[in-house]
Structure 1
Amino acid sequence: MAMQREAPEFKRCCFCIPLRRGLIAWGYVKLILDLLVLAYLSLMFFWLAHYGLRFVSVYMLTYIFIAVCSFLDTAFSIVFIVAGHKKSIKLLKVSYVYNIVWLGFLVLGNSFTLYTDLKFLYKMWSYMKDHKYIVLEILASSALATSTVFIQIYVILLIRSEISKLQNQTLEMQFTNHVAAEPLCTLRNESDCTEKKLHGEEKGKIDI
């Protein structure tokens, strides 16, 4: 019999902050970073346009691709913040799927960057006298890429935990409302309740 392992669920963000507030704070931090990236890209577009597009066409295409990704990430960051404030399970599920897709892009992008760095290092190794700095630079970029992937996985697990918590709260509220909606007896007057009970028993005997 195969063992089924479920993904871990977290009650708090970073083990100290309430889960929903931590996710909202992360959404605002990510939104600020996206806006800074867009501001930087705007300056780069201005610089590239000023010095001509023929010479820097490859760089222009690269910056356009990064700008599109930044716009999408900004839009979904806003959706994520709204979902956290409104406790919307539907919007959180949208953010959950988007973060999984974004994780895939991160893995592919970081793998491609690491591959190009190693390829450059292999070609230039014989021409370099001091290899220590270039090796440290590649190790630092690899550590940064790995940390971004693990942070993204952690955020995905936090979003999943928040969705699970909200779904459980919704089920508990529905169960409570269902039980409360079917009272056995509403006691307004003790004599009235007794008379109704006796009248019901007599009616049941007559029906039999």
Structure 2
Amino acid sequence: MRGEAPRFKRCCFCIPLRRGLLGWGYLMLVLNILKAILFTVLYFEQIIILLPSIIILIVDVIFNVLLIVACHKKSPKLMKMYFVYGVVVVILIFASTSAMIYDDVQRAVSTWDTSYNGFADIAIRVVATPAMCFVDIFIYIYVLFLVRSERIKLLEQNLEIQFVNNGAEAESYCVCVADAATCARDDHGSSLKATDALCDA
């Protein structure tokens, strides 16, 4: 038996889905712009660090704008594009976090220092930083579930609209056919009456 992914009706159990996704999109848009400004100020002379960071932020800004447009236009297609992008981002964050944890553990083992500063540095590298990365992954996954839930809701609404329209068209067609048949019968009856009148004459 195949399990289904959970569907959410509200964001954070209190906000309508579309409004919550719009809030997320605008929030990430502002944060990414601030990050780009901060990285430019801090690493202005270190182009090797600055350039990849700016490219990543620009891509993220583009897809956040895509999410905002998708929510405003209620477009399942655009939401699917953002969903695919979000899955790729989660995979990349998980892979980079795993590699970072492995590298930090190897350094901690090779350069073990029992002093307070050494232990604090290891705790930050091996525990605190990866924990923050996994929180980012959790938030991204939650947002992806929200996007999926909103997309499914929009698809279901579109199907309902199409069903109603098709039903209305079919009903109109039946009424037209019935009217045509009635007219044909009336015309046929009129012709018979005219023939009978001629015969009587």
Structure 2-normalised TM-score?
0.81
Which residue number corresponds to residue 94 of structure 2? 107
1:129 aligned partner, one-letter code:
S
Deviation digits for residues 33-88 of structure 1, max 9, x if unmatched? Answer: 11111001211343x2xxxxxxxxxx532332121111100111111111111111
Q: Which runs of 5+ in 2 are unaligned?
A: 190-201
**Which ranges of structure 1 fall in alignment gaps of 5 or more residues?**
49-58, 187-192
Q: How far does residue 199 in structure 1 lie from its aligned partner after superposition? A: 5.5
How much identity, in percent, do the aligned residues show? 36
Corresponding residue number in structure 2 for 1:170: 158
Aligned-residue CA RMSD (Å): 2.4
Residues 179 and 203 (structure 1), Cα distance of their counterparts in 2 relative to 1, 3 Å cut: farther
On the 8 A contact 2:43/2:49 being kept in 1, the answer is no
Q: Using the alignment, how far apart are the partners of 1:168 and 1:200 within structure 2?
A: 43
Larger Rg, first or second structure (1 or 2): 2
Equivalence map 1:110-189=2 (5 Å): 110-125=97-112, 127-130=113-116, 132-137=119-124, 138-181=126-169, 182-183=171-172, 184-185=174-175
**Gap change, CA 1:60 and 1:79, over 3 Å in 2:** same
Q: Deviations over 1:100-146 (max 9, x none)?
A: 11111111121122222222222221x34125423542322222121
**What CA distance in whole angstroms lies between the structure 2 residues aligned with 1:157 and 1:14?**
12
Secondary structure, counterpart of 2:147 in structure 1: helix
**If each structure's helix is expressed as a fraction of its own residues, which one has the higher value?**
2
Task: Quote the residue 1:97 is aligned against.
Answer: 84
TM-score, normalised via structure 1 length: 0.79
**Of 70, 77, 91, which aligns to 1:83?**
70
Aligned pair count reads 183
